[in-house]
């Protein structure tokens, strides 16, 4: 959304991935290269032994290491990103920028310069003292911290309200409530939990997402949607109060969906890809799994053997529930050649819809894969002044639906064009030919 590009140009496949040309934290770049690149709450500096909710910072001792200019240095998230962002382009044009997200690791959106966002606000969602994803209500409370930051910025203040600041040309936030509402099995309410069973439970409780076999929201999903609707409404109201609504474009979308939408399809099978490959004596350097498996092999010469093992498994009992495997030219065309690109996985395993490579009993959905559930997300663009007919009157239907396929990568050039900036100032846009969304 902020680069206009896919992993083959950004170099970022997931917050938990692998780089063949980097080294583990604290290694001083000694020994064989190749390390997991985990950019999440694991980077946070502990305060009195715990991860803080507010004012967290990245501890450089937790960062993977790489060679830059002949020196071994910790690689911050913004340096890990290989392309610039809308925040870099906008700030270089002399504009003021702001963003709020769920980890200090989201300083990745600062882009390679490291200074793309003037006001970056990152309360930690996975802090130890206050587990904000334990329920939708708790997550709503966490998200409201970021909503307050947006309201402060609309009012011409810093995100924390501490002092005056320009109203940003680009600003926004990430909501977590809907994600939790989609996939959480509430540990306090679900009678299905048996290890150990809860002391009290509601026999009528339904886990997150949708009612089985329907598109009807479960109560906790409805609660999440109601909260987000009201939160966005409060931003619109504040923009209107400050007479900024008619000069502001609002874009609402999602980084990803969750699979499966129908909880009746859930099939959690644990680390099945690992099991299949280990049985075939194929050593894994890194395997990142949710409802997809990104696999980096210790020996890339074993790629064909790994694919064969997974496909043979498909023909037999299909232990890993494989739908298809991306490798070779097909993988290279979309994500770069793993023999040349040190970030690209050697193979990507897409399981059947509903399969999640986890044994966790805390969720009924996950993301990361290429299924319709994962990739078909909401995208709403509200232009200043609303939708107008040729005569300048409001359109009766309040807008229009674009039926042709679009991609979330198109959000970045759309934002820059709205601000009167050149979309091809983004490296990923130039390389991938990403176009702005249709108007």
Q: In CATH, what number is assigned to the domain containing residue 342?
A: 3.30.1360
Q: Is residue 282 part of a domain?
A: yes
For residue 11, is it within any domain? no
Q: Which of 330, 353, 372 is the last residue of a domain?
A: 372
Residues 169 and 274 in one domain: no
Taking phi first (over 0 means left), then psi (-120 to 50 degrees means alpha), and beta for anything else, what does residue 321 get? left
Q: How many CA atoms lie within 13 A of 420 on its CB side?
A: 5
Instruction: Give yes or no: residues 105 and 209 share one domain.
Output: yes
> Is the residue at 192 inside a domain?
yes
Domain match, 204 and 114 both: yes
Does 220 lie in the same domain as 254? Answer: yes
Which of 331, 354, 372 lies at the terminal end of a domain, its last residue? 372
Same domain? For 229 and 138 the reply is yes
The domain in which residue 282 lies consists of 267-372
Q: Which residues contact 315 (CB under 8 A, 6 or more apart)?
A: none
Average pLDDT, the chain: 91
Give me the number of domains the chain comprises: 2
Residue 69 lies in a domain: no
Residue 5 lies in a domain: no
Position 194 pLDDT exceeds 80: no
Are 408 and 296 members of one domain? no
Indicate if 201 and 345 belong to the same structural domain. no
Say if strands 35-38 and 16-19 run parallel, antiparallel, or are unpaired: antiparallel
pTM listed for this prediction: 0.92
Residue 10 lies in a domain: no
- Closest Cα partner for 365 from 288, 273, 261? 261
Tokens of 165: 């600041």
Domain match, 209 and 107 both: yes
* Same domain membership, residue 343 and residue 251: no
The 10s digit of each residue's pLDDT in 230-255 is 999 999 999 999 999 999 999 999 99
Q: Would you say residue 66 lies in a domain? A: no
Pair (422, 410) in one structural domain? yes
Distance CA 294, CA 346 (A): 8
Do 109 and 210 share a structural domain? yes
309 phi, psi to nearest 5 deg: -60, -40
What tens digit of pLDDT does each residue of 43-98 get? Answer: 999 998 889 999 999 999 999 999 999 999 999 999 999 999 999 999 999 999 99
Please report whether residue 21 resides in a domain: no
User: pLDDT digit string (tens) for 197-216?
Assistant: 555 667 777 788 888 888 89
Q: Is there a single domain that holds both residue 99 and residue 235?
A: yes
CATH number of the CATH domain containing 155:
3.40.720
């Amino acid at each position: 959304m902020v680069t206009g590009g896919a992993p083959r140009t950004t170099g970022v496949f997931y917050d938990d991935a692998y780089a063949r040309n980097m080294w583990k934290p604290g290694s001083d770049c000694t020994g064989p290269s190749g390390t997991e690149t985990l950019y999440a709450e694991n980077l946070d500096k502990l305060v009195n032994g715990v991860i803080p909710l507010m004012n967290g910072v990245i501890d450089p001792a937790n960062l993977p290491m790489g060679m830059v200019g002949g020196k071994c240095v910790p690689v911050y998230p913004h340096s890990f990103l290989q392309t610039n962002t809308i925040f870099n382009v906008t700030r270089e044009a002399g504009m003021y920028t702001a963003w709020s997200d769920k980890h200090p690791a989201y300083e990745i959106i600062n882009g390679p310069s490291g200074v793309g966002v003037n006001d970056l606000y990152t309360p930690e969602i996975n802090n130890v003292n206050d587990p904000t994803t334990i329920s939708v209500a708790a997550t709503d409370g966490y998200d409201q911290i970021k909503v307050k930051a947006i309201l402060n910025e609309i009012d011409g203040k810093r995100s924390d309200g501490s002092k005056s600041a320009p109203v940003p040309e680009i600003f926004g936030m990430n909501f977590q409530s809907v994600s939790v509402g989609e996939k959480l099995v509430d540990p306090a309410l679900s009678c299905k939990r048996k290890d150990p069973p809860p002391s009290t439970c509601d026999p009528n409780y339904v886990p997150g997402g949708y009612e089985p076999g329907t598109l009807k929201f479960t109560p906790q999903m409805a609660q999440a949607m109601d909260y987000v609707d009201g939160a966005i409404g409060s931003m619109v109201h504040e923009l209107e109060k400050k007479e900024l609504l008619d000069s502001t474009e609002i874009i609402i979308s999602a980084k990803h969906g969750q699979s499966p939408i129908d909880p009746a399809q859930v099939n959690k099978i644990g680390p099945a890809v690992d099991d299949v490959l280990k049985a075939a004596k194929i050593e894994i350097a890194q395997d990142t799994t949710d409802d997809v498996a990104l696999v980096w092999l210790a020996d890339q010469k074993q790629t064909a053997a790994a694919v064969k093992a997974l496909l043979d498994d498909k023909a037999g009992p299909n232990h890993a529930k494989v739908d298809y495997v991306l490798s070779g030219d097909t993988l290279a065309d979309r994500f770069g050649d793993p023999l040349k690109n040190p970030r690209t996985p050697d193979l990507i395993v897409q399981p059947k819809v509903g399969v999640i490579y986890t044994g966790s009993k805390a969720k009924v959905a996950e993301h990361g894969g290429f299924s319709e559930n994962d990739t078909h997300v909401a995208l709403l663009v509200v232009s200043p002044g609303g939708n107008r007919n040729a005569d300048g009157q409001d359109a009766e239907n309040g807008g229009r639906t674009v039926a042709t396929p679009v991609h979330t990568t198109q959000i970045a050039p759309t934002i820059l064009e709205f601000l009167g900036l050149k979309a091809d100032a983004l490296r990923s846009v130039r390389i991938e030919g990403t176009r702005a969304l249709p108007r």
